[in-house]
Amino acid sequence: MLEEVINGTWSYINNHDEDVGCNATNLGREYLQRKSNFLVRIKNINTFIDNFNCTPIHLPEEEYEDELRIHKNIILKFKYLRDLISDYYKIHEAKEESDNIIEKYNTFRYLTDLKKSIEIGESVKAMIYSILQSVQFINSFTQANNLEDIYETDFTTELLDLNVWKLQLDNKTKELEQLNRYLEDESFRVLMQEYIQPTVQGIIFVIGFVGNGVLVLIFARHKDTRTVPNIMLLNLAVGDLLNLIVNIPTFYSYSISTKWQFGLYLCKTYRFLRQLGIGVSVYSIVVISVQRFIVVTESITFRRYGCQIPNKLKVPLLISVVWIIGSMIAIPHTVYAGIYEGNCYGASAEHHYYPKAITLIDLLFFCLIPLAIIILLSVLSAHQLKKSVRKLPGETIGMEKVIKIRIVSSNVLIALAILSAVSYIPLHLLFFVYAWTDFSISQSTYYVVSLITYTLIFGNSCFNPIALYMVSKKFRRYFNTYLFCRRERKASESQNQAPTGISAIMAEDTL
């Protein structure tokens, strides 16, 4: 029967079948019971011999006791080993469950899944610690009873290796620490993405959409606003609307879902339009700065040697140039764009040079080059405006108003350049630094910085109609009419005229 017990224990160790292990345990228990009963009978026979003074021939009682003790320890060790193996597979089941939950979390991003995974991890850590204690006990039990390792295999050797379980406990502890830090970061991310970001960008979207939408409506309904200088304001408003509509709702929907679900074509379209909107907004401001510089300086060079293009061609030409430039900057974002690992990325991981190239292009053509042009022309225009103020006769009627308007105009030009720099440089500089250096920050800090820098881009789309409302009386009157249902009495022509080569109205309406 002992042979059946040994065969059963080996079968369990090799195959890890719980039914086989249970049968082996029951056989071992039954064997020990029979062995104990047999030993009891031997002791009774020996007692009987001693009581009746029979021939002093005793059965080998001590030999059977030693044999029973050894077999009992062997079967007991198997019981401990079986419990250990059972716990070992429970740990693997728990780890598999945890991995499935993590995979689910990566798909749906529910914090409850991440918390549940951490809870399972804590239970796994407790089981590993329990196994560590059991291994220590089994090894001590084996050594104390001088048991041979009759159950020795590669599996049981590793299973009873104390250092293996100490390492696993240490690894699980570090893993849980990382998961808890990740939970903190993800909780913060959820707060930013699901509460703060929608609120801030929602406010920006409403203000920008309403402001630029009303501006488009004003141009559509009032012919007197559709001058050549002002037409770029309309183009800027359209670019800002495209920027807001494509980027804010789409990006928010994409960021909370974590997976792109709209196909390859829309992925490429999205990557193109999000850059096109920014490009049109940026280079519309560049063209406005050029127009303002030409108007403010009253340059003889432009008048004498400039190309005399009819207004009917000048307007579509300027608009076409801006949209072509925006398209040329946006095209590199679509060349390798596709769905990689379920997400809409500009390129796959194989195109390792792409992040450096694209961030350099964006930094140059969205930030440095246009902002350098805007700042240079704005400073020159502001200088010319202030210079012209000093040439104005101090006692001329209405001159104080003209001086005030010119000073405001120069300040607004400078503010426009500063705001453009503040709006566009931080985000593209952040991406550039990440692509070209080993710079890294904590996850929570990255969420805050990326939210602020990403939001600044759209803040610029809100500023343009607000600036126009503040500077131009004509547009302010129309804005009040459509936004607040308030009509203002039109100022007389004498109040709107300036006795200089650069009229105050021109200074207002071309800004």
- Reported confidence tier of residue 375, pLDDT bands at 50, 70, 90: confident
CA distance linking residue 57 with residue 62, whole number of Å: 14
101-144 residue pLDDT tens: 988 888 777 889 999 999 999 999 999 999 999 999 988 888 88
10 Å Cβ neighbour count for 153?
12
Is the pLDDT reported for residue 256 higher than 60? yes
Would you list the domain boundaries of the chain?
2-160, 182-509
- Reported confidence tier of residue 466, pLDDT bands at 50, 70, 90: confident
- Reported confidence tier of residue 305, pLDDT bands at 50, 70, 90: very low
Radius of gyration, CA atoms only, the chain = 41
Percent of the chain residues past pLDDT 70, beyond the cut:
79
Is the pLDDT reported for residue 171 higher than 60? yes
Instruction: Tell me which residue has tokens 């080998």.
Output: 60
Is the pLDDT reported for residue 398 higher than 60? no
312-331 residue pLDDT tens: 777 788 899 999 999 999 99
Residue 505 — φ and ψ, nearest 5°?
Answer: -65, -40
- Read off the pTM: 0.66
Average pLDDT, the chain: 79
Which of 304, 301, 295, 303 lies closest to 502 in space, CA to CA?
A: 295
List alpha helices for 349-398, DSSP H.
354-362, 369-391
Three-class DSSP category at 345: strand
Q: Greater confidence, 288 or 359?
A: 359
Q: For domain 182-509, is the CATH number 1.20.1070.10? A: yes
Is the pLDDT reported for residue 442 higher than 60? yes
One DSSP character per residue, 130-181 reads: HHHHHHHHHHHHHHHTT---TT--HHHHHHT-HHHHHHHHHHHHHHHHHHHH
Instruction: Tell me which residue has tokens 């990325």.
Output: 345
Predicted confidence at residue 452, as pLDDT, reads 86
CA distance linking residue 124 with residue 172, whole number of Å: 8
- What tokens does 233 get? 């304001």
Q: In this structure, are residues 337 and 274 in contact, taking their beta carbons and an 8 Å threshold?
A: no
Predicted confidence at residue 125, as pLDDT, reads 94
Lowest mean pLDDT among 4-8, 180-184, 325-329: 4-8
- What tokens does 129 get? 């610690």
